[in-house]
Amino acid sequence: MAAAACRSVKGLVAVITGGASGLGLATAERLVGLGASAVLLDIPSSNGEEQAKKLGSSCAFAPTDVTSEKDVQAALALAKEKFGRVDVAVNCAGIAVAIKTYNAKRNQAHTLEDFQRVINVNLVGTFNVIRLAAGEMGQNEPDQGGQRGVIINTASVAAYEGQVGQAAYSASKGGIVGMTLPIARDLAPMGLFGTPLLTSLPEKVRNFLASQVPFPNRLGHPAEYAHLVQSIIENPFINGEVIRLDGAIRMQP
């Protein structure tokens, strides 16, 4: 039996949330460098426009609040208008707060507004992009393996080992882990082979965490995340999976 062919990144069109910086920007740089096109989705106050110009004619910027249906629809429309279709969605947008559930010293409870804000951006925002991008990908002609698109989400080691003050952040990332498999199952009949989930160190991590990473003994680089995105796109048999990209770190309280 012949081996399945790996999918080439060249010629694909990706929409990347949080694309103006960090993991999102590193992913865009790698994909564009490999011959793909990318639309960077980020908040209007970001430097997304500047970053897109640096990446050239194969990149565009769409000012986007990921929790807004209208904004995400506009970004997907831009991708189709400029590049013809949407093949890949990478969710990197996220926020974090460091607040205890109850601070006894201050006699102060975690504000519900802060908890809801983190859940809304990290979890609801990710789902908002997934559900709308899936509709666009479903219009693509399937490749020889029946695949129409790839969706990649970003969680965190905090989904499993949240630290003190990370109740909201951990809940949001745990939600992404929890919805990975059912979404993959939902989308399988459409040929949307994906919703693999990548776990990475939080962007706002303290320097001391680097010493807790067994090997390599450092924090991860955005380029390493981007490399894994490439591998997931190219390998058609990764589906509905959680992949830890964390140097084997296990978070302490």
Residues catalogued as catalytic: 169
What is the spatial distance between Cα 38 and Cα 30, in angstroms, rounded to a whole number?
A: 10
SS3 state of residue 199 = strand
Nearest Cα to Cα of residue 33 among 14, 20, 48 = 14
Where do the H-state alpha helices sit in 57-155? 69-83, 112-119, 125-137
* Neighbour tally for 200: CB within 10 Å: 23
* Neighbour tally for 145: CB within 10 Å: 12
In the chain, what is the greatest distance between 2 CA atoms, to the nearest angstrom? 67
Structure tokens at 175: 């939600």
Where do the H-state alpha helices sit in 84-215? 112-119, 125-137, 167-187
Pair 249, 209: CB distance under 8 Å: yes
